Amino acid sequence: MSINWFPGHMNKATREIHDILPKVDLIIEVVDARLPYSSANPVIENFRADKPCLKLLSKSDLADPAVTAQWLEHLQQDPKVRALAITTQKPDPIRKLADTCKQMVNKKIDRATTITALITGIPNVGKSTLINTLAGRPVAKAGNEPAVTQRQQRIELGGGLILIDSPGILWPKIENAASGYRLALSGAIKATAMQEDDVALYAAEYFMQAYPELMKERFKLDTLPNEGVPMLETIGKQRGCLGRGGHVDFDRTAALLINEFRSGKLGQITLETPAMAEKEHVKVAEIRARKAKEKEERKKARKAAYKAKAKKNT
């Protein structure tokens, strides 16, 4: 599945993040607790340098608690990173984040001190809802669709903390195919930019492998099929997602499975572990190295052809 969704405002937002970073004391990156690796923007990691970073694993009520614990430990191996699992279902810890930010910034804190934090994250990760909870009032537009926030805004929270809210951004090329599926499954990418049946097939196969008991319980099955397509057929028949002639409507079935994951009806599910992420990170690095080599070879070939043509004309 190829995902191509990088609206113009994201390109602008990326440039603005690069420009504002020297002026901020701290970066707050909101990632999805169900996919902390795939929802972490490599652009932010490249821009961050040595600035402290608070990683907030949002929607943690929908994620597998045991895997979330693994992620918190893994992320905090970086001495400049502090990671916390949050959910808007429990707002009190969110309201205390201002104190956490002050503890992370390496400067003397007094009544006159102002801390500026850039808060960023992928689309539809719950960033705006988090900001409104932190502010105690509606200051950021929130919604269930990606790309609700489309311009940078400055929010004064009081207590010496200022937030620079950046629009949710992806990156131009999602090189890890598995990350693309996970982002699509989480709702970070608009439905028009993906094939839902492909996403649902990926989801069914992963759910059967990683969370077989949840699938059996949700769909009242004693055993699970061996592959994703038969699983989708089973779900479609059971839930009445049928078309003409009684055949399973895969589009409706796909939408049903995706929605049940997003709403948490399937149970607490995490789409990736730190071990999975480390392996995929190595593969992505290999892909980038190969592409860079191919680009350099094409450049040399063009240069050689130009020289040959110039020599022939003399």
Give the Å distances, CA to CA, from 37 to 106, 159, 314.
Answer: 27, 32, 56
Residue 94 and residue 133 in contact, taking contact as beta carbons nearer than 8 Å: yes
Pick the residue with more confidence: 146 or 198? 198
- The number of residues making up the chain comes to 314
Of the segments 136-150, 216-230, 271-285, which one has the largest average pLDDT value?
216-230
149 is in an annotated binding site: no
Pick the residue with more confidence: 237 or 6? 237
Q: How confident is the model at residue 240 (pLDDT cuts 50, 70, 90)?
A: very high
314 is in an annotated binding site: no
128 is in an annotated binding site: yes
Pick the residue with more confidence: 45 or 193? 45
Spelled out in words, what is the top-level CATH class assigned to the domain 3-173?
alpha beta
Pick the residue with more confidence: 110 or 248? 248
Domain positions in the chain are: 3-173, 195-263, 273-313
Q: How confident is the model at residue 183 (pLDDT cuts 50, 70, 90)?
A: very high
The DSSP annotation for 157-196 comes to EETTEEEEEPPP---S----HHHHHHHHHHT-S-GGGS-H
195-263 folds as Conserved Hypothetical Protein Ylqf; Chain: A; domain 2 (1.10.1580)
46 is in an annotated binding site: no
Q: What's the distance, CA 202 to chain centroid? A: 17
Question: How much is the pTM?
Answer: 0.85
Does 98 have pLDDT greater than 80?
A: yes
Q: How confident is the model at residue 168 (pLDDT cuts 50, 70, 90)?
A: confident
Q: Provide the 3-class DSSP secondary structure of residue 54.
A: strand
126 is in an annotated binding site: yes
What b-and-e string marks burial along 122-143, b requiring 16 or more CB atoms within 10 Å of the CB? bbbbbbbbbbbbbbeeebbebe
- Give me 199's structure tokens: 């996403």
